[in-house]
């Protein structure tokens, strides 16, 4: 599990490094929201798939309340 965490960390670092490199002098803005939106939807999709569509199990896997999961699924149009 620790190896996977480092792999995800490395991917995020590489993506952000590329993002800044490709700005070509442009001033970045709202990076925090951009990263969260980029990561959250695919994370929800994959965890829900791994949970067999079971939202209670998916919320446990994510460590969030089921109602919070439902809100996020709705926000990302995954329901």
Domain boundaries, the chain: 2-75
Q: Is residue 47 within 8 Å of 62, Cβ to Cβ?
A: yes
pLDDT in tens, 25-73: 899 999 999 999 899 999 999 999 999 999 999 999 999 999 999 999 9
- What average pLDDT does this structure show over 6-34? 92
Superfamily of domain 2-75: Homeodomain-like (1.10.10.60)
Say what the pTM is: 0.78
What is the reported pLDDT for 32? 95
pLDDT for res 3: 65
Q: In 3D, which of 2, 21, 12, 10 has the Cα closest to residue 43?
A: 12
pLDDT of 24 = 87
């Amino acid at each position: 599990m620790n190896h996977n965490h480092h792999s995800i960390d490395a991917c995020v670092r590489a993506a952000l490094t590329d993002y800044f490199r490709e700005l070509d002098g442009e001033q970045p803005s709202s990076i925090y929201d951009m990263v969260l939106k980029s990561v959250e939807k695919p994370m929800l999709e994959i965890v829900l798939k791994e949970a067999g569509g079971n939202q209670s199990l998916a919320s446990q896997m994510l460590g969030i309340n089921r109602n919070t999961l439902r809100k996020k699924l709705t926000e990302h149009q995954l329901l």
